[in-house]
Amino acid sequence: MIERRWNADLLAKLFGVIFIVVGVAGFVPNPVVSETGLFRVNGAHNWAHILTGFLFLAGAFMKAPVMTIRALAVLYAVLTIIGFARQGTMLFGMIAMNMPDRWLHAALAAVLLLVGYLAPAQERLGHARM
């Protein structure tokens, strides 16, 4: 019988690397993630992505990936709600944001909530199999 594998460490590391790459990419003019890109970002938004990436990595290396994924999922869900409630182009007066950003944050929140709360019991309890 093939065992269904769940590796929260790997997922947290993957999310961490992706967020850091996106954060760094935001500092380089490009058509996807930049001040004039599809996803509008500025320095504060880029640093938020980099910080989020480091939090994912820290959670994985500190043996708390599920808790980290859940905490960041809730944070992104809250930011999504705030982002849709405040229709301007700046979140908290300093983070650039447009409608594609809002929808991407909603999708991220949904994915992270699913990943964080569908973890098998041994992952949720911190008893991941090696």
In three-state secondary structure terms, 11 is helix
Q: Which of 112, 127, 102, 125 is nearest to 38 (CA)?
A: 102
Centre a 10 Å sphere on the Cβ of residue 10 and count the other Cβ atoms it contains: 12
Residue range 102-123: average pLDDT?
85
Domain locations in the chain as residue ranges? 8-118
Whole-prediction pTM: 0.85
Q: What is the pLDDT of residues 70-110, one digit of tens each?
A: 999 999 999 999 999 987 888 888 899 999 999 999 999 99
Residues in the chain: 130
Do residues 42 and 29 lie in contact, with contact meaning Cβ atoms separated by under 8 Å?
no
3-state secondary structure of 95: strand
* Under 8 Å between Cβ of 72 and 56: yes
pLDDT in tens, 37-55: 999 999 999 999 999 999 9
